[in-house]
Structure 1
Amino acid sequence: MIVRPRLNWFRMLFVWHGSVVGNILPPLGFILLISLAATLGRQRYEALHLHLNPVPFSLIGVALAIFVSFRNTASYERFWEARKQWGQLLNHSRDLVRLASVLPGLAYGDPALQRFVANLIAFTHALKHQLRRTDPADEMRRLLGQPASDALLARHYRPAHLLRVLNADLMAWHREGRLSDMFAVSVQRHLDGLSEILGSCERISSTPIPYAYHVLLHRTVYFYCALLPFGLVDSIGWATPVISVFIAYTFMALDAIASQLEDPFGNEPNDLALAALATNIERTVLETVDAPDLPPLPEVGHGYHLN
């Protein structure tokens, strides 16, 4: 995720990081070459010039803009839904620890509460690694220790296993009399919330926008931008390269942004900063139980990229 200070209108024109310009420079260069060829061909080889009416391009451009906006809306809805789920993850984690920390006989020095907190934090990091398809071994060993982490890493659905462990701990406290019936209902509600978050994130991650729709829109944008100079050259002449590249930039950039937002859990500059979100949840949980050592705050990396 790109996190940078708000810029004035002039500096915003020259922003590079997070603007997807780098992703579309090669096709923009290709459109520029086609535009120059169309313009030069009209000047030097009038007999070979394709006389295309710009009216169909205007109609197609309007329809294409509507379709591109639909795709961007669908991609942004996936991005925002993912962000809301991680916001709920923070809320449920904080409330779970708050309820557990006031149970009779439990303070952070108690091994039972320490284990519960560690498993809850491990759930957040395990979910992050599952969504990004990265190796969670180092963080699981840091949080759970060698024996517990080895048992967890041997499983495929690690967040689901951690939920079962958390539920078993809470049921044990209920049997011991530490957790009243009223508290048990409240705690179970938050555990169910974590399970719903896990399912929602898995749904977003495993069900992309239909590939055929993506290919159709991608092809249409690129063919339209490649043919556009031939429809403009009769009316605007030498301004064709500038106008064609500008229109191509608009359509291609929207297509590239939609492709990034479609998978909000990735590592692209405009994806969610899952590592920073997981660290903030860990800090919040530990601070709730007055733990002495907190992990450092997430830092913005090169190009204002927060991972």
Structure 2
Amino acid sequence: MVSYNPKDWFTFIFRFHKADTFRLLMPIMLAIGAYSAIIGWLEVEHWQLTESSYIKNITLMHNMLGFVISLLLVFRTNTAYDRWWEGRKMWGALVNNSRNFAIKLSVMLTDEHDRAFFRRMIPGYASILHKHLNNSETGQQLFDDTELEINKNRHQPNHVAQMMVQKIHDLYMSKKITGDQLIVLNAEIQSFTDICGACERIKNTPIPYSYSAFIKKFIFFYVMTLPLGYSFSLGYFVAPVVVFIFYVLASLELIAEEIEDPFGDDENDLPTEKIASNIKKHVEEIL
């Protein structure tokens, strides 16, 4: 995750980070700028269209559709941010549950061997969950054209949770914990699996294809028709104006694409590896 000072305006304006959309969009922005300049030249210099040409009225369409595309992009970015924020809440809950689980075990268990087992397995679950969510195959489980091999050891978070449940059961059978304590500890492990399932739901369920494809096509055709009408009033300045409009619209879509899957390795994704290391440090302090 990018570390920054939200109050430092000049850093945001004049510094281009490697995660900035400007770098990603530069090639297509240059192409659209050249296209807009050619359209402006054809209409003003070559064809010499007059102010009475019907092509000038195409700006009416842009005025009407501008409000529509703004609503679509607002909904798109809000939906993507909700997924990012929900993922952060799930990992925050994992931090709290790991601490609570470790605190309860530190009181209930007196054998150092048992404490060492959970001192290793609780942070191990967070580390395994990070790797599981970062795996490209995890995000393909619901795709119709993908068949994943069934392997009981592939879903490592379930395997770690099963080991902890088995250990707690063994502690109960050996009379090291009571039945009430068994119920409490089982609820803690169940919360781990619930968090894993919520994160998998975010990972495995992208924005519907039709919606994402429609927004991209809408932005493309909207921008490509801008020079047709605005060349009359802007002349050759239509090229930088159209490029700037494309940059704003396409950047919003790119940002939404990046944050809708918060468990990857992008600059703006959640620092799940760092959170897992913090869980390890806290659990070791408690146990």
- The answer (yes or no) to whether the contact 1:116–1:169 under 8 Å persists in 2 is no
Matches of 2:209 and 2:179, distance apart in 1: 49
SS at the partner of 2:14? coil
Report what 1:26 is aligned to: 27
Other-structure match for 1:52? 56
Is residue 85 of structure 2 the alignment partner of residue 76 of structure 1?
no
Moved more, 122-131 or 9-18: 9-18
Q: 1:226 and 1:282 mapped to 2: Cα distance?
A: 52
SS in 2 for 1:102: helix
Query: Among the aligned pairs, what percent are the same residue?
Result: 26
In 2 relative to 1, CA 264–104 (structure 1 residues): closer, same or farther, beyond 3 Å? Answer: closer
Q: 1:192 aligns with which of 190, 193, 199?
A: 190
1:134 CA displacement: 7.3
Aligned equivalent of 2:95, options 90, 109, 112: 90
The answer to whether the 8 Å contact 1:92/1:193 transfers is yes
Does the residue aligned with 2:242 lie in a helix, a strand or coil?
Answer: helix
TM normalised by structure 2 equals 0.87
Q: How does 1:261-280 map to 2 (within 5 A)?
A: 261-280=259-278
| In structure 1, C-alpha distance between the alignment counterparts of 2:132 and 2:44, rounded to whole Å | 58
- Counterpart of 1:285 in structure 2 is 283
1:113 and 2:115 aligned: yes
1:24-73, Cα deviation, whole Å (9 max, x unpaired): 11221122112211222233213479823211111112101111111111
Q: Secondary structure, in 3 states, of the residue corresponding to 1:212? A: helix
- Structure 1 letter corresponding to 2:262: P
Distance 2:180 2:6 in 1: 47
Q: Matched residues in 1 for 2:109 and 2:223: separation?
A: 68
The question of 1:65 aligning with 2:70 is answered yes
1:300 aligned partner: none
Q: Which runs of 5+ in 2 are unaligned?
A: 138-150
Match for residue 241 of structure 1?
239
Say if 1:221 and 1:252, in contact at 8 Å, map to a contact too.
yes
Question: How far apart are the structure 1 equivalents of 2:228 and 2:263?
Answer: 40
**1:193-242 superposed Cα distances (whole Å, 9 cap, x missing partner):** 11100111111111111112111111111221122122211122233122
Gaps of 5+ in 1: 136-152, 290-307
- Using the alignment, how far apart are the partners of 2:215 and 2:186 within structure 1? 45
Distance in 1 between residues matched to 2:118 and 2:7, nearest whole Å:
44
**Larger mean Cα displacement after TM superposition, 126-135 or 223-232:** 126-135
Structure 1 residue 7, shift from structure 2 partner: 4.9
Which letter maps to 2:2? I
Letter matched to residue 211 of structure 2: Y
8 Å CA contact retained: 1:131, 1:202: yes
| Deviations, residues 151-184 of structure 1 (Å, cap 9, x unaligned) | xx98111110110111111122222333233332
Moved more, 185-194 or 75-84: 185-194
* Residues matched between the structures, number: 269
Q: One-letter code of the match for 1:45?
A: H
Moved more, 221-230 or 74-83: 221-230
Distance in 1 between residues matched to 2:115 and 2:110, nearest whole Å: 10
Mapped to 1, the partners of 2:253 and 2:109 lie a distance apart of 56
Q: Contact 1:23–1:256 at 8 Å: present in 2 too? A: no
Letter matched to residue 220 of structure 1:
F
Report the equivalent of 2:251.
253
> Residue type matched to 1:233 in 2?
S
Q: 1:220 to 1:276 in 2, by over 3 A?
A: same
| Map of 1:225 onto structure 2 | 223
Moved more, 271-280 or 83-92: 271-280
Give distance in 2, aligned partners of 1:83 and 1:95.
18
State the partner residue of 2:142: none
Matched, 1:124 2:109: no
